[in-house]
Amino acid sequence: MSDNISVLVAFAAGLASFLSPCVLPLIPAYISFITGVSVKDLTDEGDKKVQLNMVLLETSLFCLGFSIVFVLLGATITFLGSFLSAHQDIIRVAGGILIILFGLNITGLVKIRALQQEKKIHLKNKPVSLMGSFVVGVVFAVGWTPCIGPILGSILALAAMKGSIGQGVVLLCAYSLGLAIPFFITSVAINSFLRLFKKVNKYLNVISIVSGVILIIVGVLLVTNRFQISF
């Protein structure tokens, strides 16, 4: 049961990353950048079928790029956690405290300077060819913004407490899926997204606070050993 809850938490964390204030407003720009099509042309009804096929392919490669990086991070951190399994109680408490700090930072109750610094890697121009979208996805993952960092860091902390690399990989696959699905939906329904964004934009702070509170709850459950993690 706890494994299923962990997967659901990871998937929800992916959705929360998409909805974070430093990602959601930039989604049209991301899609325009990876497809090479302006936002104006993306919203144009002309030649929709050809455009849709191209957008789907480019978005798939972009999502594959960031998913591979996240899954590799999960596999690596789980290996380290498994290696240190003799100290599982220390890892559990330390991981729980770390997640609580991440949650406090996201809610804005506590500002952690290290998490406020941007760690972006910028690409001024997209590399040519379809592989360019894959490369952009890799860069997106490696240079995540402070908004994604605490959420992703929390899932990596959960992965570190898993008993096998496979379990850690499953968690990061769920996280990547939670982040990728909204990208796909947005890429094929950009007009609807732009209309919806105008309504959601004023609630971004609320979304951040809710995401932070969820992380704090998960962290407290870990520290008190009520969120069971099997080694």
Instruction: Compute and round to an integer the Cα radius of gyration of the chain.
Output: 18
Distance CA 33, CA 165 (A): 34
Contact call for residues 106 and 211 (beta carbons, < 8 A): yes
pTM of the model: 0.72
pLDDT value of residue 174: 95
Q: Give just the sign of the alpha carbon dihedral 213, 217, 218, 222.
A: positive
Q: What residue has token string 């960092």? A: 149
pLDDT value of residue 121: 47
Distance CA 134, CA 128 (A): 11
Token pair recorded at residue 196: 């919806």
Contact call for residues 71 and 176 (beta carbons, < 8 A): yes
Q: What is the number of other CB atoms lying within 10 angstroms of the CB of residue 108?
A: 11
Distance CA 101, CA 115 (A): 10
DSSP string, 161-219: TSSSHHHHHHHHHHHHHHHHHHHHHHHH-HHHHHHHHHHHGGGHHHHHHHHHHHHHHHH
10-residue mean pLDDT profile of the chain (231 residues): values are: 76 87 73 67 55 78 91 87 68 80 80 56 54 80 67 84 82 94 81 66 75 83 69 40
Residue 207 corresponds to which amino acid?
I
Residue among 167, 184, 173 nearest 31 (CA): 184
